[in-house]
Structure 1
Amino acid sequence: MIADIFAERRTGIRFGAIIMMVGTMFWIPWAAVVAAQPRRTERDRGVLPQTQVGCAVAATAIVIIAMLIWVVAAFRPDRSPELIQTLSDLGFVISIMPFAVFCVWNVALGLAIFADDGPAPAYPRWSAYLCMWTALLYVPGGALAFFQTGPLAWNGAFAFFLPAIAFFIWLIVMTVLTLRSINRPPGADHEFSTIPTSRQVPA
């Protein structure tokens, strides 16, 4: 059955893989821009931004490798069904199983947002909780190693669709928040610093 799918959709699979490989390359500059927004503190010292970019690089490599494997599976439809099944499984395992990379990426960003305790933080505090919850939703992808069918299998609701939907919602939300942070007018970082902490009594 899997071999038939790769044979019938070989052109679409190859075009889709190319689009995915090109698109995921933008994760790296995107992650660098997002990581640069929260103000660095003495406790941070650049570890959290570097962790985010490093995870983005690893995630990009993971997706590209998986896409290349699926291209190989669709490249020659006359291969044995067993070999195509193996390549298909390998592509899904590589793309879904390394959930820890995405978890660390989200947690690092969430911690950076929590640590950004300036008068006008780059991101709202609720976005840090979004990062943490999204990281938690990636975890079911690790169950792929134990299930071939059902919601925790390679095409299951919990192992594949839940982490994928959570990731793209997080990606969209953080993109919107980052654009707002970048477009913040000059001097807005200090707009709250002039708010008096106590009532001033006129002389």
Structure 2
Amino acid sequence: LMTVHLKRTTHGKTFAYAFLFAQTVGVTPGLLLPGVAMLAGALRPERSPELLVTLYDMTFLTFVGSLGCFVTAYIPLIAAILLDKNKIFPRWFAYVSIWNLVTEFVAVPVFFFRDGAFAWDGAISFWVDTAVFVVWQNAILIQLFRTINRQPPGMAYPD
């Protein structure tokens, strides 16, 4: 849905497809791999606790630590909003996206810290990043809802 509305911006397809491609690439390490690791651990709970801990560690390290993969999707999103003359999305949404982009980098230290604020479950790497991400996701939902309601009735979407 975001890609469809990004196509309506001044630079249309370029930023829309860059956003879509980057999101698609980010899903593999960011969501698919952790999901498979968690399912593998849950499939046979009778496995040795050491193996289950390894699978769960892999899940959360990959899930939290790979958030930077999505940074490449935020860049075309931000550029599309800031360069748009059609005012499809408000400029403040680009600044919220910048805030989200910056906080994604605090997830990188999870590969180097086992405990503390920068561990995968730490106050900074997990909780701060998650809080900002939740704000950003709510902003996306609100903006998509407003954008859909503002468009003219019967408007055809760009190809």
2:63 to 86, 92, 95: 95
Does residue 126 (structure 1) correspond to residue 97 (structure 2)? The answer is no
Question: Per-residue displacement from partner, 1:24-55 (whole Å, max 9, x unpaired)?
Answer: xxxxxx342343342327xxxx3321121112
2:3 to 32, 35, 38: 32
Question: Per-residue displacement from partner, 1:171-201 (whole Å, max 9, x unpaired)?
Answer: 11122112211221539xxxxxxxxxxxxxx
CA gap 1:80/1:166 in 2 versus in 1, 3 angstroms: same
Query: TM-score, normalization: structure 2?
Result: 0.85
Contact 1:138 1:162 in 2 (8 A): no
2:85 to 101, 117, 124: 117
Cα distance in 2 between the residues matched to 1:185 and 1:31? 14
**Which residue of 1 is the match for residue 157 of structure 2?**
none
Cα distance in 1 between the residues matched to 2:31 and 2:108? 16
Cα distance in 1 between the residues matched to 2:22 and 2:2? 9
**Which residue of 1 is the match for residue 36 of structure 2?**
68
Does residue 171 (structure 1) correspond to residue 137 (structure 2)? The answer is yes
Letter in 2 for 1:103: V
CA gap 1:31/1:90 in 2 versus in 1, 3 angstroms: farther
**Which residue of 1 is the match for residue 147 of structure 2?**
181
1:151 to 92, 96, 117: 117
Q: How well do the aligned residues superpose, as a CA RMSD in angstroms?
A: 1.9
Larger Rg: 1
For structure 2, the residue ranges without an aligned partner over 5 or more in a row are 154-159
Cα distance in 1 between the residues matched to 2:130 and 2:32? 16
Q: SS of 1:123's equivalent?
A: coil
For structure 1, the residue ranges without an aligned partner over 5 or more in a row are 1-29, 188-203
CA gap 1:185/1:105 in 2 versus in 1, 3 angstroms: closer
**Which residue of 1 is the match for residue 73 of structure 2?**
105
Which segment drifts farther, 74-83 or 84-93?
74-83
Cα distance in 2 between the residues matched to 1:156 and 1:129? 25
Q: SS of 1:77's equivalent?
A: coil
CA gap 1:163/1:83 in 2 versus in 1, 3 angstroms: same
Cα distance in 1 between the residues matched to 2:41 and 2:5? 35
Q: SS of 1:32's equivalent?
A: helix
